[in-house]
Amino acid sequence: MNEQPWTKSQTECIRDDLVDLFLSAGGLTGSEASEQLGISRTAVWKHIQSLQTMGFQFDSSPRVGYRLLAVPDVLMEPLLRRALPVDTDLGRVVTFAPEVDSTNRVAMDAAERGAPHGTVVTALRQTGGRGRRGRPWFSPPDGAWFSVVLQHPMPLRRAAELTLIASVVLRRALVGLGAGAVAIKWPNDLLLGGRKISGILAEIRADGEQVQRAVLGIGVNCNTPAADFPEALRDVATSVFAETGRKVDRIELVSRFLSGFQPYYDALVRGEAAFARLHEEWTTHSHTLGRSVRVQVGGQVLAGTAVRLDPSGALVLRMPSGSETEVMSGDVLFDDPIG
């Protein structure tokens, strides 16, 4: 592991400061930017070129300098900060890269090197996006891929609530942005029209029974056209855009998620019943309850009817014998294709 204490790179800080300057001023000459940022005019020019590759558009003329014409919908700190409420500590530090292997991998590395609580790692695309159970996660440039560093300790037995809370809060954010009838599949998937639009992967570092830190990774298939999904995924995955014809504003989505997640996370850290407050909403929008399911738990497959979710996060199955079994984690394979 890299033992250097974590800091956001200087290049990224300067790039973000330059975006901030343009967002406030609209236009700047090369020498104004160079003076304000303490870098050479050539360095300013290089940053502008790199911003252009990310979708920023500038007009430039020798007399007026650079004028910002268009801002892309990418998850960069200056853009996200403007959308977040001031009292949110999730997303105060954001790192954005055009490409990483996995935002969860980068975030856990940063977390272990002391990245502040609430740091959000985002990327336009992932080359090694991680799904649950070691599966790959398809991460083209038009999705929202981000991971949140959570540095507060909590008992390990409460950790399952992180993904359940996240699924309800993310559903709210998506519905608020016009995604329609988003359903929740236990434990951590969001579905639209029966196919997956989002997955959540919480990775935890625990010391005995105590979680020391966690990374909450969220992937949302926002604006990917249906035809861009690999053949093998088309039956099981879709995007909000493919289902509704509406493009999702990713800055708005992530800021709604972060500000919505914060109070429940804080409650969880204080030892309060956090998911219990969302239990009814989860149940109302569940795609899992009432169905005959097979749940893969490790090497074992349990077949039964999903009757309820315990407020602790366990799925309760009624088995063919009539007895009830609680499952804390696993993969649900549907038997019964209703709805």
Binding site for ligand BTN (CB under 6 A): 102-104, 126, 129-132, 135, 137, 145-147, 188-189, 199-201, 217-219
Residue 33 Cβ vs ligand BTN, minimum distance, rounded to whole Å = 33
Cβ contact 317:324 at 8 Å: yes
Residue 157 Cβ vs ligand BTN, minimum distance, rounded to whole Å = 22
Residue 143 Cβ vs ligand BTN, minimum distance, rounded to whole Å = 8
Residue 139 Cβ vs ligand BTN, minimum distance, rounded to whole Å = 6
CA distance 76 to 130: 21
Query: What is the 3-state composition of the chain as percent helix, strand, coil, each rounded to the nearest 5?
Result: 35, 30, 35
Residue 113 Cβ vs ligand BTN, minimum distance, rounded to whole Å = 18
- In the β-sheet with 292-297, what is the strand arrangement from edge to edge? 324-327, 315-318, 300-309, 292-297, 331-334
Q: In a 10 Å sphere around its CB, with 0-12 CB exposed, 13-18 middle and 19+ buried, how is residue 84 labelled? A: buried
Looking at beta carbons only, is 66 or 137 nearer to ligand BTN?
137
Residue 196 Cβ vs ligand BTN, minimum distance, rounded to whole Å = 7
- Which residues fall within 8 angstroms of residue 321, CB to CB, at 6 or more apart? none
Looking at beta carbons only, is 28 or 237 nearer to ligand BTN?
237
Q: Is 261 helix (H, G, I), strand (E, B) or coil?
A: helix
Helices and strands (DSSP H and E) totals, the chain: 9, 16
Residue 146 Cβ vs ligand BTN, minimum distance, rounded to whole Å = 6
- Which residues fall within 8 angstroms of residue 188, CB to CB, at 6 or more apart? 132, 163, 164, 166, 167, 199, 200, 201
Looking at beta carbons only, is 48 or 93 nearer to ligand BTN?
93
Looking at beta carbons only, is 21 or 76 nearer to ligand BTN?
76
Looking at beta carbons only, is 93 or 191 nearer to ligand BTN?
191
Per-residue CA distances from 65 to 29, 31, 129, 149 (Å): 4, 9, 39, 39
Looking at beta carbons only, is 66 or 146 nearer to ligand BTN?
146
CA distance 104 to 86: 25
Span between the terminal Cα atoms of the chain, in Å: 46
Looking at beta carbons only, is 135 or 157 nearer to ligand BTN?
135
Looking at beta carbons only, is 307 or 333 nearer to ligand BTN?
333
Residue 136 Cβ vs ligand BTN, minimum distance, rounded to whole Å = 9
Looking at beta carbons only, is 30 or 330 nearer to ligand BTN?
330
Residue 144 Cβ vs ligand BTN, minimum distance, rounded to whole Å = 8
- Six-digit token string for 282: 């989860």
CA distance 265 to 213: 13
Indicate the residue whose CB is closest to ligand BTN. 199
Cβ contact 204:210 at 8 Å: no
